[in-house]
């Protein structure tokens, strides 16, 4: 038996005639909106940004986050006092407004202002890469990249250094003809002056770079009070060390009032629920526990709706 079909071969699961429902509806849900734009006439800006970033690297050890090798600045580039940084911020806000206009289907002028941003510079040289990560957080809803100087990066994988947007949707794909499960990933080719904007939740990485010239980019996170992220609180709780390891203790404070309310609801539920007929000890026992369970469900519902 083909090991790829170890859990049941085609011969073991024969199709009796053509019974496939050809009129079944397939819906593709929850696409990630990713925008890129190549800013024209950017050589002068990029040359100055390169100078600014390399000077900063010469006077700072940088930080280590997702970068493996390379240099990453602290996340305060938006406050660097250079006119070129101001120009870059203007470009970022313009692309963010266009991103929302296309994603929402119309222009909303409430997004013309009110943005908060955190930005940082990256310099990768031979052998450096960035591991898989995302940027989603309470004040990080959109993320982006501006390629200042792509070094020796090409459109193919000959020197690496491409940004890889990774498919973490956990959708099964066929491995019978092509066992490379990463083929659904999207490789964004950096270009000088290209800006990319995407949801902060989109997993991404940077390929190992083998070029001889530095690959320089600026990454940023954006937040606006007019935007929201579904299930963000659940994500934060699941990522919290204390929640993962001591969930019972973490929820004790919020659960005690809920359980006290539930106990207080039990008598009322018992009075409203008719006794089973014919009555027996076993049926009475089940009836009491059903009422208790119903009271606790009511209490939980009330607390969830607060």
Which structural domains are found in the chain, ordered by start?
A: 35-240 (2.60.120.620), 251-304 (no CATH)
CA-wise closest residue to 205 among 181, 222, 187: 187
Each residue's pLDDT, cut to its tens digit, for the chain (306 residues) gives: 455 445 555 556 666 667 889 899 999 898 899 999 999 999 999 999 999 999 999 999 899 999 999 999 999 999 999 999 999 999 999 999 999 999 989 899 999 999 999 999 999 999 999 999 999 999 999 999 999 999 999 988 899 999 999 999 888 888 887 778 777 899 999 999 999 999 999 999 999 999 999 999 999 999 999 999 998 888 777 666 555 555 565 566 667 888 888 888 889 888 887 888 888 888 888 888 888 887 887 777 676 655
CA distance 203 to 210: 23
Q: Is 245 helix (H, G, I), strand (E, B) or coil?
A: helix
Note if the pTM is more than 0.85: no
Q: Render pLDDT for 50-67 as a digit per residue (tens, 0 to 9).
A: 999 999 999 998 999 999
Q: In what order do the strands lie in the sheet with 35-38?
A: 35-38, 194-199, 142-149, 215-223, 116-124, 71-72
């Amino acid at each position: 038996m083909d090991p790829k079909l170890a859990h049941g071969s085609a011969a073991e699961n024969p199709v009796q005639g053509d019974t496939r429902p050809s009129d079944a509806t397939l819906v593709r849900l929850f696409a990630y909106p990713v925008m890129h734009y190549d800013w024209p006439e950017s050589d002068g800006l990029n040359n100055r940004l390169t100078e600014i970033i390399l000077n900063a690297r010469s006077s700072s050890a940088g930080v280590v986050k997702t970068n493996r090798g390379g240099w990453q600045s602290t996340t305060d580039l938006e406050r660097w006092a250079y006119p070129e940084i101001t120009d870059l911020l203007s470009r970022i806000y313009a692309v963010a407004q266009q991103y929302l206009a296309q994603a929402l289907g119309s222009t909303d002028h409430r997004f013309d202002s009110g943005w908060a941003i955190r930005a940082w510079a990256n310099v990768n040289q031979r052998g450096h890469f960035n591991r898989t990560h995302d940027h989603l957080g309470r004040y990080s809803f959109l993320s982006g990249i501006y390629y200042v100087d792509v070094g020796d990066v090409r459109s193919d994988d000959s020197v690496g250094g491409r940004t890889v947007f990774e498919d973490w949707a956990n959708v099964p794909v066929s491995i019978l003809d092509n066992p490379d499960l990463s083929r659904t990933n999207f490789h964004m080719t950096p270009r000088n002056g290209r800006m990319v904007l995407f949801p902060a939740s989109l997993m991404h990485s940077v390929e190992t770079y083998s070029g001889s010239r530095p690959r320089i980019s600026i990454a940023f996170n954006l937040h606006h009070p007019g935007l929201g992220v579904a299930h963000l609180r659940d994500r934060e709780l699941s990522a919290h060390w204390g929640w993962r390891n001591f969930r019972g203790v973490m929820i004790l404070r919020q659960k005690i009032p809920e359980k006290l309310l539930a106990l207080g609801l039990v008598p009322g539920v018992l009075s409203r629920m008719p006794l089973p007929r014919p009555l027996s000890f076993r049926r009475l026992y089940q009836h009491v526990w059903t009422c208790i369970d119903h009271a606790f469900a009511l209490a939980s519902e009330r607390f969830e709706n607060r």
